[in-house]
């Protein structure tokens, strides 16, 4: 019933990402977050539904020891009225596909321990809880978080 | 040409001419210098050298050489022609015409000069001269198509249409039967269409029709042919044939409103004022239903029925019309529906309909009577439409509440922020409107429209500096002002000038207003190239309509606003002359006279230096630019008066104002503002009879207008205070007035006090009329000040007859109430009454910053000391500065997200 499309984040439209984050998350992100998102290139995307921006995925590319790159998902979110339409799935699969294409083997993220919906969502995409960090958040309760991660097999999803 | 020179030099002279025509100026200059080495005083060579230098931006040398050349050879048509060309390049057309005429005295049959002269005559609308010159050209070269056409056009322009037709037919008579050749088919077809439009213009409709049928095969522009055909058929009353043509036009373009109107006319179903009988409505309904089946993709065919349908049928049609557009998300939907609000009945139906749609989507996710779920965005678009509906009806609080809900729903939809800004502007909070427009802009920095809208709002809120910095983001090279000027960005210059005027900065205001005036002068200039181009290309219909457009160019609204603005500036300058306009001026007045003189000398020197530097700079660039001719045009003299301070130092501001008033009187005679300005200006100039003319014009246009009433009373009050006439002119004025007086019906046998009283009686329910009557009472009987103030205060703000479903609307307009407040403050000079008025209006207009309404940003900001904070998703930042500590902003926290810090 609606058209979903993805678009990159640039200086000219980064405000859309800020608007989404303001609406979606109880945290105010700092300049570094946006700098990381902009420099991650294709790994950060806005999702449009009938030409309205309604969701986003923002990633940071991290260099591991030895020079390999891993992807950290900073945020993934869709405006409440537009959930359940496959927009989150489209955003996440875009990033997973990109990882496979670029032979990036590790992708991970943090999630608040009580956020069952999110954990279930990531489980569907073969993410697993690999660690739990106490007192990760300073201003929200519960303050603990899980680390969800996935090791992407080489050539997996490759076209 | 080049006569009286030996062979070698004569050849060199030809080189100069050739080089000039091919723009190889350096080569031409060399050849000229070679001749001048042997014959230093040869007139024609001197002239041509001057003309060449003129093209190399060496103006002063050019004039010197051309004049010297002419002096040495007064009998040479070349020298005169060159002199004319030089003047023409400086747009001194009258001087240029004189030169050409002198050249023609020496060489009457010179085709080139005649052609150049005819262009100038067309430009200056010297129609008699134009006809003469074109006739001469035709006689000299009758085998040239352009000469026939030019002669015909010259007659058309001086309204001799039948003569123009005769000439075109004579021209056709010279053509072979197999004309035109393939490469001239378009031009010939245009000529035929032009001729047919002339036949139509002078009412020879049968002949026009016959001509069309005969020449159909030769007319290339089939669309224009059909449109012309339809128009002639309708005028002849051949409605059935007309219908056929309009239907075939609709087949080509089913979204052209003119074709629908044409078709309705052919069917006898068209009324100018949109009023139809119920029988007509039924037939219209049937017509559009069948058209809709045929053209299901046309939006016009769906939109037009909303104009004539009424009642339940209107409801049904409107419902069908808006639903798909709400699903799709069409931000311009409200402006599409907006004209329907002129019928209050339709406005109420729309209100009910929209609320029903909103309700249904909110509750069930579908439109009423449907089971199919709408996309989530439909609710947001519906809320936007409902909000704009309430804005239009003046219920700003409901409008804003609906909009906030939409923003809460989809905080990323940019249109919501733009519209919120617009509503806040209507509600009287210009600062908040600007800040919302800025928020919309920030969401898509690549959108020029959002940038422009934001700049406009900032100017309306008198944030000129900020507006300028914002506008610059979209002008090339970041070269700010000059560039906006080059782009003839008049809305910007007007809004900026009006803002400076409000802030009392008359210099900058004048600068902007005069810049707009300059653009119109440039547009008049711009037609010059078309006189030759259009005749050559045969785009005659477009050419003539362009000339007619140019003839009333200065009646355009932007010019009207600029001229009115300039006149107001000059009048203000006259009322309170500025002694020391600049800061330096203030400083100067503190200094002892001896030092003052020194300082002044210093300033003069500095100015001269700046000017010289600027000139040198342009000249340098001109030299370096000769190798790259394209670049040279971009250099411009440095603006020596960026703040318009020099504009303020006019001898006689009222004289300057008169120039612009004349343009208004000639071009905007049907506008009240023109005559009100004329009244104000002529009263200041003590031109009694001219002021009286303005009063007469005003009464003719609208005797019930409050401002017209003011002018009437003020004029006769002033006249009655004059002492008995002594001089001849005073006696003359008195006599004229006495002769004219019986024609003013308002004044028959009544005193001014009575006139004012009866005006009040007649309009006692209108705030602005009461205010005008009160003000005039104060003028006539100053001792009745309290009574006058009571007149204003006794006005009541009634409920408007349109009855909104969600609350009452009052009649008074914000701008009127502000005007009344200013009246109490500055004319009645009564602080108490003014503050009583303010206290009353603050209830009616809670968003108004002027009245300090409780919901306006003026109050919110002063409480929170928080103006700098950017607004947060459409909510002006009343909260404290946000940090990571701040919690829910939009109330939706969890579900489907993860975070990191």
Question: Hey, what are A48's tokens?
Answer: 């449009």
Provide the pLDDT for residue B892. Answer: 30
Assess A95–B contact: CB distance below 8 Å, yes or no. Answer: no
Provide the pLDDT for residue B627. Answer: 41
Interatomic CA distance for residues B798 and B737, integer angstroms: 41
Assess A115–B contact: CB distance below 8 Å, yes or no. Answer: yes
Does a structural domain hold residue A10?
Answer: yes
Does a structural domain hold residue A133?
Answer: yes
Does a structural domain hold residue A158?
Answer: no
> What pLDDT, in 10s, does the model give residues B761-798?
999 999 999 999 999 999 999 999 999 999 999 998 88
Residue A92 pLDDT greater than 80, yes or no: yes
* Position A139 confidence tier, pLDDT thresholds 50, 70, 90: confident
Provide the pLDDT for residue A67. Answer: 85
CATH classification of the domain holding A46: 3.40.630.30
Provide the pLDDT for residue B743. Answer: 85
Residue A154 pLDDT greater than 80, yes or no: no
CB B489 within 8 A of CB B497: no
SS3 string of B428-480? CCHHHHHHHHHHHHHHCCCCHHHHHHHHHHHHHCCCHHHHHHHHHCCCHHHCH
Q: Give percent of chain B with pLDDT exceeding 90.
A: 75
> What pLDDT, in 10s, does the model give residues B162-212?
999 999 999 999 998 888 888 899 999 999 999 999 999 999 999 999 999
Provide the pLDDT for residue B173. Answer: 92
Suggest the residue from A7, A19, A73 to mutate for an interface test with chain B (most B CBs closer than 10 A).
A19
Provide the pLDDT for residue B614. Answer: 57
CB-CB: which of B373, B377, B899 is closest to A25? B899
Residue B584 pLDDT greater than 50, yes or no: no
**Phi, psi at B221, each rounded to 5°:** -80, 90
Assess A1–B contact: CB distance below 8 Å, yes or no. Answer: yes
Strands A52-63 and A69-78 come out as: antiparallel
Suggest the residue from B381, B874, B896 to mutate for an interface test with chain A (most A CBs closer than 10 A).
B896
Q: What's the domain count of chain A?
A: 1
More confident residue, B178 or B802: B178
Distance from the Cα of residue A16 to its chain's centroid: 16
Assess A3–B contact: CB distance below 8 Å, yes or no. Answer: no
Quick one: closest CA in B to A82, which residue?
B376
Does a structural domain hold residue A73?
Answer: yes
Q: How many CA atoms lie within 13 A of A143 on its CB side?
A: 6
Residue B886 pLDDT greater than 90, yes or no: no
Strand partners, A129: A148
Does a structural domain hold residue A51?
Answer: yes
Does a structural domain hold residue A45?
Answer: yes
Provide the pLDDT for residue B606. Answer: 67
Residue B895 pLDDT greater than 70, yes or no: no
pLDDT mean over A12-25: 95
DSSP assignments along B116-167, one per residue: HHHHHHHHHT-HHHHHHHHHHHHHH-TT-HHHHHHHHHHHHHTT-HHHHHHH
Provide the pLDDT for residue B877. Answer: 41
All domains of chain B, ordered by start, with CATH? 7-187 (1.25.40.1040)
Instruction: Write down the mean pLDDT value for chain B.
Output: 88
Interatomic CA distance for residues A132 and B577, integer angstroms: 78
pLDDT mean over A63-82: 93
More confident residue, B313 or B865: B313
Assess A143–B contact: CB distance below 8 Å, yes or no. Answer: no
> What pLDDT, in 10s, does the model give residues B12-42?
999 999 999 999 999 999 999 999 999 999 9
Quick one: closest CA in A to B374, which residue?
A1
Which of these ranges, B58-72, B239-253, B429-443, B861-875, has the smallest mean pLDDT? B861-875
Instruction: Write down the mean pLDDT value for chain A.
Output: 91
CB contact under 8 A, B900 and A79: no
Provide the pLDDT for residue B862. Answer: 44
Interatomic CA distance for residues B735 and B730, integer angstroms: 9
Residue B504 pLDDT greater than 90, yes or no: yes
In eight-state DSSP terms, residue A152 is P
Residue B332 pLDDT greater than 80, yes or no: yes
pTM: 0.85
> What pLDDT, in 10s, does the model give residues B82-137?
999 999 999 899 999 999 999 999 999 999 999 999 999 999 999 999 999 999 99
Question: What would you report as the CA-atom Rg of chain A, rounded to the nearest whole angstrom?
Answer: 15
Does a structural domain hold residue A126?
Answer: yes
Residue B697 pLDDT greater than 80, yes or no: yes
Residue B537 pLDDT greater than 70, yes or no: yes
Assess A25–B contact: CB distance below 8 Å, yes or no. Answer: yes
Residue B288 pLDDT greater than 70, yes or no: yes
Residue B443 pLDDT greater than 80, yes or no: yes
Interface of B with A (CB under 8 A): 328-329, 373, 375-377, 379-380, 409-413, 442-446, 872-873, 882-890, 892-901
Residue B214 pLDDT greater than 60, yes or no: yes
Structural domain range at position A36: 4-151
DSSP assignments along B533-546, one per residue: HHHHHT-HHHHHHH
* Position B856 confidence tier, pLDDT thresholds 50, 70, 90: confident
CB B411 within 8 A of CB A23: yes
Tell me how far apart the terminal alpha carbons of chain B are, to the nearest angstrom: 86
CB B46 within 8 A of CB B69: yes
Burial per residue of A121-133, b for 16 or more beta-carbon CB atoms within 10 angstroms, e otherwise: bbeeeebeeeeee
Q: How many CA atoms lie within 13 A of B886 on its CB side?
A: 16
> What pLDDT, in 10s, does the model give residues B623-660?
444 444 443 444 556 677 888 888 888 889 999 999 99
pLDDT mean over B822-828: 95
In angstroms, the separation between the Cα of residue A102 and the nearest Cα of chain B is: 24
Provide the pLDDT for residue B807. Answer: 59
Q: Which helix (H) or strand (E) holds B229?
A: helix B222-236
> What pLDDT, in 10s, does the model give residues B267-281?
999 999 888 999 999
Does a structural domain hold residue A93?
Answer: yes
Strand partners, A75: A58
């Amino acid at each position: 019933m609606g058209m979903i499309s993805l678009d990159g984040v640039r200086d000219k439209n980064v405000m859309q990402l800020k608007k989404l984050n303001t609406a979606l998350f109880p945290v105010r992100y700092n300049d570094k977050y946006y700098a990381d998102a902009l420099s991650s290139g294709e790994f950060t995307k806005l999702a449009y539904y009938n030409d309205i921006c309604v969701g986003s995925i923002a990633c940071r590319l991290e260099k591991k020891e030895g020079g390999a790159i891993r992807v950290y998902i900073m945020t993934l979110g869709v405006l409440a009225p537009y959930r359940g339409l496959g927009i989150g799935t489209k955003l996440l699969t875009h990033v997973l596909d990109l990882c496979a294409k670029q032979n990036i083997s590790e992708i991970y993220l943090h999630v608040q321990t009580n956020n069952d919906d999110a954990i279930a969502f990531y489980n569907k995409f073969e993410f697993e809880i690999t660690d739990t960090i106490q007192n990760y958040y300073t201003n929200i309760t519960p303050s603990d978080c899980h680390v969800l991660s996935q090791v992407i097999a080489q050539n997996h999803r490759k076209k | 040409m080049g006569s009286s020179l030996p062979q070698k030099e004569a050849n060199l002279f030809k080189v100069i001419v050739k080089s000039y025509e091919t723009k190889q100026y350096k080569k031409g200059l060399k050849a000229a210098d070679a001749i001048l080495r042997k014959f230093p005083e040869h007139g024609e060579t001197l002239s041509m050298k001057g003309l060449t230098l003129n093209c190399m931006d060496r103006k002063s040398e050019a004039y010197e050489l051309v004049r010297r050349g002419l002096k040495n050879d007064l009998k040479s048509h070349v020298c005169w022609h060159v002199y004319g060309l030089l003047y023409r390049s400086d747009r001194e057309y009258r001087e240029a015409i004189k030169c050409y005429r002198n050249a023609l005295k020496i060489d009457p049959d010179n085709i080139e000069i005649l052609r150049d002269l005819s262009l100038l005559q067309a430009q200056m609308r010297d129609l008699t001269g134009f006809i003469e010159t074109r006739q001469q050209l035709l006689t000299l070269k009758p085998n040239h198509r352009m000469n026939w056409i030019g002669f015909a056009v010259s007659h058309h322009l001086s309204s001799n249409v039948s003569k123009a037709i005769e000439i075109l037919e004579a021209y056709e008579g010279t053509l072979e039967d197999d004309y035109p050749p393939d490469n001239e088919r378009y031009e010939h077809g245009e000529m035929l269409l032009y001729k047919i439009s002339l036949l139509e213009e002078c009412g020879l409709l049968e002949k026009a029709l016959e001509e069309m049928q005969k020449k159909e095969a030769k007319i290339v522009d089939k669309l224009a042919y059909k449109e012309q055909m339809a128009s002639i058929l309708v005028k002849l009353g051949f409605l059935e044939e007309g219908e056929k043509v309009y239907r075939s036009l609709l087949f080509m373009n089913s979204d052209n409103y003119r074709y629908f109107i044409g078709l309705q006319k052919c069917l006898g179903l068209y009324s100018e004022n949109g009023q139809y009988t119920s029988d007509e409505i039924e037939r219209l309904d049937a017509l559009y239903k069948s058209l809709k089946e045929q053209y299901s993709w046309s939006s016009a065919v769906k939109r037009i029925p909303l104009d004539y349908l009424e009642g339940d049928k209107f409801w049904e049609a409107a419902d069908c019309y808006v639903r798909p557009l709400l699903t799709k998300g069409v931000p311009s939907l409200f402006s599409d529906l907006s004209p329907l609000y002129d019928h209050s009945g339709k406005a109420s139906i729309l209100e009910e309909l929209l609320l029903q749609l909103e309700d249904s989507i909110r509750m069930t996710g579908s439109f009423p009577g449907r089971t199919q779920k709408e996309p989530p965005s439909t609710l947001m678009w519906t809320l936007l439409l409902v909000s704009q509906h309430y804005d239009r009806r003046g219920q700003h609080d409901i409008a804003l509440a609906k909009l906030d809900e939409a923003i809460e729903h989809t905080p990323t939809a940019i249109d919501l922020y733009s519209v919120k800004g617009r509503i806040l502007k209507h509600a009287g909070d210009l600062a908040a409107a600007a800040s919302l427009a800025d928020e919309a802009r920030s969401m898509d920095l690549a959108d020029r429209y959002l940038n422009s809208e934001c700049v406009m709002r900032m100017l309306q809120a008198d944030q000129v500096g900020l507006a300028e910095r914002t506008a610059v983001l979209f002008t090339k090279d970041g070269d700010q002002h000059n560039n906006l000027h080059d782009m003839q960005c008049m809305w910007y210059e007007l809004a900026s000038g009006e803002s400076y005027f409000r802030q009392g900065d008359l210099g900058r205001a004048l600068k902007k207003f005069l810049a707009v005036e300059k653009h119109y002068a440039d547009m008049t200039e711009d037609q010059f190239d078309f006189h030759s181009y259009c005749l050559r290309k045969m785009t005659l219909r477009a050419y003539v309509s362009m000339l007619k457009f140019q003839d009333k160019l200065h009646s355009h609204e932007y010019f009207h606003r600029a001229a009115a603005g300039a006149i107001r500036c000059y009048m203000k300058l006259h009322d309170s002359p500025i002694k020391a306009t600049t800061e330096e001026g203030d400083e100067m007045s503190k200094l002892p006279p001896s030092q003052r003189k020194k300082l002044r000398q210093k300033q003069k020197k500095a100015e001269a230096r700046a000017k010289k530097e600027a000139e040198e700079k342009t000249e340098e660039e001109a030299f370096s630019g000769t190798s790259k001719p394209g670049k040279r045009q971009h250099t411009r003299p440095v603006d020596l008066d960026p703040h318009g301070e020099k504009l303020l130092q006019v001898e006689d501001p009222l004289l300057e104002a008169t120039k612009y008033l004349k343009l208004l009187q000639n071009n905007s005679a049907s506008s009240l503002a023109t005559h009100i300005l004329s009244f104000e200006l002529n009263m200041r100039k003590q031109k009694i009879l001219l002021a009286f003319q303005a009063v007469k014009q005003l009464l003719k246009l609208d005797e019930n207008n409050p401002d017209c009433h003011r002018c009437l009373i003020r004029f006769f009050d002033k006249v009655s205070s004059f002492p008995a006439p002594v001089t001849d002119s005073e006696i003359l004025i008195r006599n004229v007035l006495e002769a004219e007086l019986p024609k003013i019906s308002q004044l028959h046998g009544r005193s001014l006090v009575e006139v004012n009283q009866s005006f009040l009686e007649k309009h006692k329910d209108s705030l602005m009329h009461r205010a005008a009557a009160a003000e005039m009472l104060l003028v006539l009987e100053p001792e009745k000040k309290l009574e006058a103030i009571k007149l204003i205060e006794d006005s009541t703000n009634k409920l408007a007859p349109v009855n909104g479903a969600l609350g009452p609307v009052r009649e008074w307009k914000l701008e009127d109430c502000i005007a009344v407040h200013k009246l109490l403050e500055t004319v009645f000079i009564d602080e108490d009454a003014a503050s009583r008025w303010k206290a009353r209006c603050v209830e009616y207009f809670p968003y108004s910053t002027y009245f300090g309404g409780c919901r306006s940003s003026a109050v919110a900001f002063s409480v929170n000391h928080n103006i700098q904070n950017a607004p947060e998703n459409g909510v002006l930042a009343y909260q404290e500065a946000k940090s990571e500590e701040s919690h829910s902003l939009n109330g939706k926290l969890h579900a489907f997200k993860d975070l990191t810090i």
